[in-house]
Structure 1
Amino acid sequence: MHPITLSLLGILLLPLLTIPVHANVEKTIFLGPPATTIPSEAPDLDDLGLERLTPQNGVVRTQVNASFPSAEAPDGTESWFFLENLTPGQRYEVRICWLATQPTSFTLTTHPLPTTLEDQTFLTSLSKFSASRLSSPDTNFQTNALNRNTNAGPSPDPAPTTSSVLFLRVRAAADYFSKDEALMRDVPPVAVDVILDPFLWNAFPRSLVPTAAWVVVVAVLAGVVARWVVGEVGRVIEDARVEREREMEGEGKKEK
């Protein structure tokens, strides 16, 4: 077989040779709220130990606690994150991704800063989550928390005193059944990626630009390959027709 044909065949078969990775995704889409003054007095946001996401640092890999739905927590265990340095009126998407081997039902909601601090239910939930994080011996719960204190040294995303910010509440409910009593009694933490993704022109997620570019490249390549295949098939058909005509002419001469 011709080397070019082998190369094109390899490109076409490449998707069939890849190993699929299965994961689940839940998301929420929102607009950046108007800028608000971030209070410095208690409760100090720096003391909450929340993991923060910004358009510049928009990915956090962490673990969140989950639980089976109950009357007190029908949507599972609550976790809180802080979204800051947003652009008012800009469309954003927050995604949470987790492995399919950890069946979990996630619910994502965003809440403005004043509403969260004034609502007793939200404030109680936020305080409980903060206390559990700060008391945890697992240092993984502390590594992604950014400090807004400018005296602590340079930061890639220094938080201003006035900014477009939101609280992100993530509720995680275990969504499985097992004969393992220990697994049913104590739900293990779920490894997740939390991603803050701005929209370009409020229409297209920024993280999908490479994917869109790849789709265009594949489409162009597919068009080139299709034209080549059509040309090769046409050439084979034409060669067969010419050969057939020659055979018929040869048979006619023999009959004479």
Structure 2
Amino acid sequence: MATFLFDKIIFGPVKSRRLGVSLGINLLPNDCKLCSFNCIYCECGWNPDKRDQKISFHDRELVKTSLWEKLIEMKNENKAPDVITFAGNGEPTLHPDFAEIIDYTIQVRDEIFPNARIAVLSNATMIHKKSVFEALNKVDDNILKLDGGFEKTIIDLDQPVGEYSLSKTVELLAKFEGNLIVQTLFIRGKYNNKIIDNTSGEEIAVWLEHLKKIQPKEVMIYTISRDTPIDDLVKISLNELNLIADKVGEIGFKTQISS
């Protein structure tokens, strides 16, 4: 299927199904995806071959200038964002100046749109880095991915680049002491002759145990809504998502559903 890339540093504002009116920030290259996961459902498509990978992050000063100019433009047009969201063409926390950019974003948000939230959509692969962990702890919506209960499921679904440890990830997520939102995409399908399904009863039960250890302030559950790199993926019904949300509610966590 067709996929797309964000071709600017600042994009939107757009109406997000999870966050409201969102002004996006893309810290990754405009012409290719750059991510520590290679999720089979990613709307940005596949990571390029390592030989073709372009490690060209946007300069931090250019990011700052672009954000300032866009926020001033929106202020002059009386168009306030609900949220300023770090997302884009891959994993935003890979940017070497991520922490400094977050500090600047908080500063200009407080000055121009103090009621706007700051959100980061991250796959949680860089939270072992002290600077990344501390930066994420400063934002309003620290949204971190956990796409299953079993490590094998997450590896099959998210295709980590390099080593991945689910137990270590859960341990690090718990260190946020509740200052995070866990985000999980539910899906069924087939890839590389493997059945992919993170919706089974056994999978959900183990995933719920992880949530108990992590103690997030909220859980976002959703399914695919845009084109994906492969065709053999199935969108999960709203009814199924509601049943999963009920189980999350039973263990005491607020749930937001997107379908």
Determine if the TM-score, normalized by the shorter chain, exceeds 0.5: no
Normalising by structure 1, we get a TM-score of 0.20
Higher gyration radius (CA): 1
Normalising by structure 2, we get a TM-score of 0.20
Structure number with greater CO (CA < 8 Å, separation at least 6) is 1
Higher strand share: 1
Higher helix share: 1
